[in-house]
Amino acid sequence: MATSEAGLDRGRSAFEEHRWTDAFEHFLDADQHGGLPAADLERLATVEILTGKSDAGIETLTRAHEEYLVVGDVVGAARCAGWIGIHLMNSGQPARSAGWFARAGRLVAELNEPCAVEGLLLIPTALGMLFGGNPEGARRGFTDALAIGEKFQDRDLISLSLLGTGQACVALGDISTGVGLFDEVMVAVTAGELSPVPSGIIYCAVIGTCHLAFDLRRALEWTAALDRWCGGRPDMVLFSGQCQGHRADLYRLHGAWDDAVSAAKDAQRLSAAGDYQALYGGYYQQGEVERLRGEFAAAEECYRQAARSGYEPQPGLALLRLARGDVPAAQTLIRRSADAADLANRRHLLPALVEIELAAGDTAAARRAADELASVAQDCGMPMLQAASCQAGGAVLLAEGEPALAQPVLRQGWTLWRELGVPFEAARCRTLVGQACRASGDDDSAEMDFEAAHAEFLALGAAPAAAWAASLQYTPAHDARPGPLTPRELEVLRLVASGMANRAIAGELYLSEKTVARHVSNILLKLGLQSRVAATKYAYDHGLTQ
């Protein structure tokens, strides 16, 4: 018994110090040498769930539930039942979770006095309303849960209720109130006032909703905080994968694409290890980088894997269809997604909706979407949302034949993207500025904008966008200017276009075959092309074969 008590003490100490693996080993040893009381079974279950042993964690939490019933602690039993339901719900097991919620509700109903578990059980119901298209009902549900949390001074319940209220506000379009509530709840999280599982839930939900609200500053700040929180718990699996997914999103936005793919793959690995909520972000973010790089088959596979989470990989999949030239499919996908989305997710889809409608030639539909985005940007005031609105509005003005009106709008968007440190969108916006200049008769400014955007796309490795910018640098076919190619690269391109293989080109130019291969690779990258066939067509189209 003394050995068991000593093991319990060590397990409790390790738990308080967030040493999850040590806590697991000590609790497990104590359990095998005399068993654990209900409260320590709860701790062991928490450790198991945090370290990716979710099935074992549910079993242990079930034991804790039963032990509480044996000792007559109905509130403890109901609390365990409620959390079992939440974990099962988050892992995609709705039938089992509903059964545990029903059991928890029955136990609460048997009590003579109210308890905080009543409020906990309101959380999943309100979440169902939030994600089921009833944000106003969700807000009322979270408000009721908050009142119960405040009555019993349950910090976990108070914070989860404030989180949900903030999410409901964002979904209703009241972004300023929503993010203000996030700031409030994050005070409790960062101060270490909450239990580990509610803390992780809040971190990840706040960051995800900030991305939906185009609040890049808060997303960056809270992702850094989440990174530090996870770093202080190196053996934690749950939430760590989601952290990597959020990091991948920020890396992608800021142009660090290799880092984004690395973080995305870490999220995928941690998803397989037990952080089930990391599946979507891990694969979707890698898919976004692959699409922007022109690796369309890899992007397709990533989006397919992301869809296994139950969430549609949009707008990435629709933009992939557009990049592959299937404009009708892209239009169908983005329209269906935008029409079915709640307000917050619809806002997130609007920039892609404008781009695809313009590509499909439906300027009127693009105008409606751009105006909707401008209305949200005016009410919200987020710089990222304003940048996206300027870019979309300027593109529509160009399509409407108003280049003079488009120029100042697009330049404002370009400036905002640069200030936010989002290089790909800044280069896209600058390319549109160049098109507006050319349409206004200012060819010199247009060429300067196209060249600068092309250089940025090349630096990022954005092959399709580089091809777009490169194609705009040249006036009609048979203008034999080499553009971004060096004289040697131009010479190699001419021989590629003549049908010669690398070995033959090497003999013709007295170069090594390895050097020729490097020149061909550089040519394809600079022109944003995918193959020698595309390079040959490009050479003929631009009069570079003479």
pLDDT for residue 544 is more than 90: no
Decide: 420 and 216 in contact? Cβ < 8 Å: yes
- The average pLDDT across 247-262 equals 96
pLDDT for position 482: 52
- The average pLDDT across 218-244 equals 93
pLDDT for position 478: 43
- The H or E element containing residue 424 is helix 423-439
Tell me which residue of 423, 497, 507, 418 sits closest to 466, measured CA to CA: 423
Lowest-confidence segment of 59-73, 86-100, 454-468 by average pLDDT? 454-468
Write down the residue that tokens 């990533």 correspond to: 302
As a whole number, the mean pLDDT across the chain is: 92
DSSP state of 153: T
pLDDT cut 90: percent of the chain above it: 77
pLDDT-derived band at 52 (thresholds 50, 70, 90) equals very high
- The average pLDDT across 245-258 equals 96
Decide: 36 and 4 in contact? Cβ < 8 Å: no
pLDDT for position 464: 86
Q: How far apart are CA 211 and CA 103, in angstroms?
A: 36
Class of residue 436 by CB neighbours under 10 A (exposed 0-12, middle 13-18, buried 19+): buried
Distances (CA, A) of 37 to 33, 64, 224, 308, 402: 12, 8, 37, 39, 74
Q: How far apart are CA 382 and CA 393, in angstroms?
A: 16
Q: How far apart are CA 111 and CA 108, in angstroms?
A: 5
pLDDT-derived band at 507 (thresholds 50, 70, 90) equals confident
Provide the phi-psi class of 477: left if phi over 0, else alpha when psi is between -120 and 50, else beta.
beta
pLDDT for position 532: 84
- The average pLDDT across 252-266 equals 97
pLDDT for residue 404 is more than 50: yes
pLDDT for residue 5 is more than 90: no
pLDDT-derived band at 307 (thresholds 50, 70, 90) equals very high
Tokens standing for residue 149: 């949390």
pLDDT in tens, 138-150: 999 999 999 999 9
Task: Give helix 383-399 / helix 423-439 axis angle, nearest 10°.
Answer: 30
pLDDT in tens, 335-379: 999 999 988 899 999 999 999 999 999 999 999 999 999 999 988
- The average pLDDT across 56-72 equals 97
Residues 6+ apart with CB under 8 A from 195: 46, 156
- The average pLDDT across 308-316 equals 96
DSSP 303-368: HHHHHTTTS--TTHHHHHHHHTT-HHHHHHHHHHHHHHS-HHHHHHHHHHHHHHHHHTT-HHHHHH
pLDDT for position 471: 79
pLDDT-derived band at 474 (thresholds 50, 70, 90) equals low
pLDDT cut 70: percent of the chain above it: 97
pLDDT for position 481: 52
Which position has the higher pLDDT, 61 or 378?
61
Write down the residue that tokens 């896209």 correspond to: 428
pLDDT in tens, 153-176: 999 999 999 999 999 999 998 999
pLDDT for position 537: 79
pLDDT in tens, 512-532: 889 999 899 888 888 888 788
pLDDT-derived band at 546 (thresholds 50, 70, 90) equals low
- The average pLDDT across 404-417 equals 97
pLDDT for position 169: 95
Q: How far apart are CA 142 and CA 12, in angstroms?
A: 32
Rounded to two decimals, the pTM is 0.86
DSSP state of 249: H
